[in-house]
Amino acid sequence: SPAQKLVFNRVNGKRPQVLLQQVSAPEECYTLAHEENVRFVYEAWQQVEQQLDGSRSGENACGPVQYVEKTPNPGLKNFVPIDLEEWWAQQFLAKIENCS
């Protein structure tokens, strides 16, 4: 069955007053605990990346070790990891282009 349509009849032939409501996406609320967790993970990951860079250049004999599969899965032979920063940049530019 077709979707029902809403019909608004004017009272005494007068137009009803229209209250403009801002329709916007709800703001995301981050708690202090959430922000602390994000900061902790970000800072910890920055340390790991620095240590990995140091171990590659021979500065650190010990430190994080990057995992490499001994027997790679043949189904993942052509797998290319996504660059999230590039993807987000493309999404951002696409939104700008669609809005203008």
pLDDT tens-digit map of 78-87:
988 888 889 9
Domain hosting residue 48, numbered range: 29-55
Q: What is the mean pLDDT of the chain?
A: 77
Q: Is residue 66 part of a domain?
A: no
pLDDT given for residue 49 in this prediction? 87
Q: Cα 11–15–19 angle (5° rounding)?
A: 115
pLDDT score of 9 more than 60: no
Q: Is residue 50 part of a domain?
A: yes
Both tokens of 68, joined, read: 């490499």
pTM: 0.39
Query: Per this entry, what is the length of the chain?
Result: 100
| Owner of token pair 């349509």 | 5
Of the two residues 12 and 20, the one the predictor is more confident about is 12
* Helix or strand holding residue 54 (H, E): helix 32-56
pLDDT given for residue 98 in this prediction? 86
Q: Is residue 46 part of a domain?
A: yes
Q: Is residue 1 part of a domain?
A: no
pLDDT tens-digit map of 55-72:
766 665 677 777 888 888
Residue 43 — very low, low, confident or very high, per pLDDT cuts 50/70/90? very high
- The answer to whether 64 touches 55, Cβ cutoff 8 Å, is yes
How many folded domains does the chain comprise? 1
Q: Is residue 96 part of a domain?
A: no
Taking the C-alpha atoms of residue 94 and residue 100, their distance in angstroms, rounded to an integer, is 10
Q: Is residue 21 part of a domain?
A: no
For 8-16, which contacts have Cβ atoms below 8 Å and span 24 or more sequence positions?
Answer: none
